[in-house]
Amino acid sequence: MSELGGFIDYYSVLQVHHDAEQGVIDAAYRCLSKLFHPDLNPDPKAAERMKEINAAYEAIGDAAARKAYHRRWMGKNAWKTLSEWGGTGWRVTESKEAYSAFEMLDAFFRDVLSERWEDAYGRLTEADKARVSLADFLEWRAAVRAVYLLGNYHISYFRRYDDCRYEGETYPRAYHFIARVTELQQLSGRITESSSHKYVALDGGVLRVCLGAKDLGKAAAEYRRLAAMAADGGAKEPLLRAAARLDPGTGALAREAWLEEAERERRRTLRYGGAFCMGAITFAPGLRGDGELQGDDSLEMNMAYAARFVSERVRDTDVLGRGSDLALVLLLPETKPGRGKKAMEKVVSLLRDDPHISENFPCEVSAAIMPCGEDVGEDLEALLKQLGIERAERPGMG
């Protein structure tokens, strides 16, 4: 439970943003009640957790009570500095423009949270608005809401780019953020957390949010399909399986999902012959420039950056996964050992030469590769261990 001098942050207890719509708070309470009600959860700690949830809902579940509580909450949270709102990546030396970019992205998320979708659309780059009409954007947001409710978010500043090219457009400056969101899966009743990369660019002298999407119609259609399945009671399992396949920190496949893909490739090799390779990229962080070890948030942001960096430099047929807290794994289908070794060496060389990695993620980057032919055994987990990748204990890693 989050406390400030004895004051309990009930928004944190229910895992919602302080500006969340009342419907989001109600949905969060229902989801958490299903998880922690003593009649449904035998864990001895569940009853105590349920007391906290009930107390939180009593304080902010009613509009009048919430108004009184919110005044107290604002008084306790007004002290927060720019760096704390900006996250661990923020540096005092960053320009006012960088913080203005943070404010723009924060406003975009607030609009989405409050379902002010037309306002959110107005914050997009001109290129985004040229590609995606307001009608398509509104249809997409409505379709997403039928499946997911945005409960809370936290934005962390990552870095600045000059003369940045993004989705075919070049901007004089762009600011990179990591957004961690808590969402309520309306169809499955689960609360999930995930991270994504967001960019704010200087567009015609104005800071605007980069959406990056070219065709929202397909995405909207998929969410409508899931919502329709829910009406028939058939969407819960597909949603749970899809969520479990991805590592929330990097967006790469989770370990078990990656091993499933490797198993498919193993079977293909047995049927048709040939070879494939399994590779691992391991990061051994050192001290930052200030002599301090990197915190968990910083490590997660940098692993997310590394995963994106690698995914943009491998073939479309290669499969990237999160092998452990500090390792990425790569499946190279139909690849002979010599070619696989060269590919891994090239990726590692690019990582070592990348300015962001050297400045913000000082570490030793190493690679290992395991050639796999027709004689490969069934225990792919054992092969990962031979690559030096032990099973991760952190939730969400498979």
Do 211 and 241 meet the contact criterion of CB atoms below 8 Å apart? Answer: no
- The pLDDT value recorded for residue 170 is 92
- 55, 77, 99 - which closes a domain: 77
Q: Does residue 377 have a pLDDT over 80?
A: no
Q: Does residue 120 have a pLDDT over 80?
A: yes
- The pLDDT value recorded for residue 17 is 82
Which spans in the chain are helix H? Answer: 10-13, 22-36, 44-60, 63-77, 82-86, 96-113, 117-122, 126-131, 134-145, 216-231, 236-245, 255-272, 296-311, 337-353, 355-360, 380-386
Please tell me whether residues 238 and 261 are part of one structural domain. Answer: no
Please tell me whether residues 212 and 227 are part of one structural domain. Answer: yes
- 77, 92, 126 - which closes a domain: 77
Please tell me whether residues 114 and 181 are part of one structural domain. Answer: yes
Whichever domain contains 326, its CATH number is 3.30.70.270
pLDDT in tens, 229-283: 655 555 455 555 555 677 877 778 888 888 888 888 888 777 667 788 888 888 8
Whichever domain contains 67, its CATH number is 1.10.287.110
* Residue 288: both structure tokens together: 């930052």
Q: Which span out of 161-170, 278-287, 357-366 was modeled with the highest average pLDDT?
A: 161-170
Q: Does residue 396 have a pLDDT over 70?
A: no
- The pLDDT value recorded for residue 77 is 66
- 77, 111, 130 - which closes a domain: 77
Residue 104: what residue type?
M
Report the share of the chain in percent with pLDDT over 90.
Answer: 16
- The pLDDT value recorded for residue 376 is 60
Give the number of domains in the chain: 3
Cα–Cα distance for residue pair 289/202, rounded to 1 Å: 29
Cα–Cα distance for residue pair 263/317, rounded to 1 Å: 15
In a domain, 157, yes or no: yes
Give the residue numbers spanning the domain of 45. Answer: 3-77
Please tell me whether residues 108 and 17 are part of one structural domain. Answer: no
Q: Does residue 146 have a pLDDT over 60?
A: yes
Dihedral sign (CA 255, 256, 260, 265): positive
Please tell me whether residues 239 and 93 are part of one structural domain. Answer: yes
Please tell me whether residues 347 and 270 are part of one structural domain. Answer: yes
pLDDT band at 58 (very low <50, low <70, confident <90, very high): very high
Question: In whole angstroms, what separates CA 49 from the centre of its chain?
Answer: 26
Whichever domain contains 141, its CATH number is 3.10.450.100
Cα–Cα separations (whole angstroms), residue 63 to 23, 25, 69, 151, 183: 11, 11, 10, 17, 22
